[in-house]
Amino acid sequence: MPTTSRRERAREERRELILRTARELAETDGWDAVTTRRLAEAVDYSQPVLYGHFKNMNAISDAVALQGIAELTDVLREAREAGGLPALAHAYLDYAADHPAVYEAMFVRPTALSFGTPDSPAALKSAFDQFVAAVEPFADGDTETLAEVLWSALHGQAVLNQTTRLRPTHRHARADTLVSRLSGTFSAPTDN
């Protein structure tokens, strides 16, 4: 029945319009600027329409976060396959720097996305798998713990890079230092 499909297609397009607009708005003016009224205005619908597609405002940023996790996973996989752990580390930090609002939706803002385990989206697990694969050559036992250490260390750098709490000139050096220390290969960190 293509008639039903027509409606469903329109519905899906509207949903994606909302999502895309929310993401743009957040990336431009920050998540605080993404209000129901402003978002509704931007997509040229009234506010209740948003609630026909998402349970609430939070669900919208959660949906953006899910998109981001899929993107990030791809980015990490490619980087790791091309350049191993160092490339993955820089790719992670670059993604966070290039898409601060999406990154915030993924890992900073309160979210209903379940990470722990059972029903956590497959995307979440496969993102973490990239960290596991990256540190595997350097693990001396508990690979998963080392992967968690790597991820949280990168996350810390990502969020503190955004606020003016670390020297902006040494972003690269921090990433290099982290990688060399975690991997045990103490190459001198490249400067600025």
Partner DNA sequence: CTAGATTGTCTAGCGGTGCTAGTATTCGAT
Partner DNA sequence: ATCGAATACTAGCACCGCTAGACAATCTAG
Q: How many angstroms separate the CA atoms of 37 and 48, rounded? A: 10
Nearer to a second copy among residue 2 and residue 168 (C-beta): 168
CB of 114 to DNA, least distance (A): 18
The letter for the amino acid at 12 is: E
Q: Which is nearer to a second copy, 82 or 97 (CB)?
A: 97
Locate 115 and state its tokens.
């990470």
Q: Which residues bind a second copy (CB under 8 A)?
A: 107-108, 114-116, 140-142, 144-146, 148-149, 151-157, 159-160, 163-167, 170, 173-174, 177-178, 181-182, 184, 186, 188-189
Q: Interface with DNA includes 112 (CB under 7 A)? A: no
Task: Please name which of 91, 177, 172, 101 lies closest in space to residue 131, comparing C-alpha atoms.
Answer: 91
Q: Applying CB under 7 A, does 188 fall inside the site for DNA? A: no
**How far apart, in whole angstroms, are the C-alpha atoms of residue 56 and residue 41?**
16
In the structure encoding, which two tokens stand for residue 94, read together? 């670059």
What does the alpha-carbon distance between residue 73 and residue 132 come to, in Å, rounded to a whole number? 12
Residue 8 CB, nearest distance to a second copy (Å)? 34
Specify the residue, 37 or 125, whose C-beta has the smaller distance to DNA.
37
Q: Is 48 in the site for DNA (CB under 7 A)?
A: yes
Q: Does 181 bind DNA (CB under 7 A)?
A: no
Residue type, 134: A
For residues 36 and 177, which CB has a smaller minimum distance to a second copy in the complex? 177
Closest CA to 15 of 45, 54, 42, 48: 54
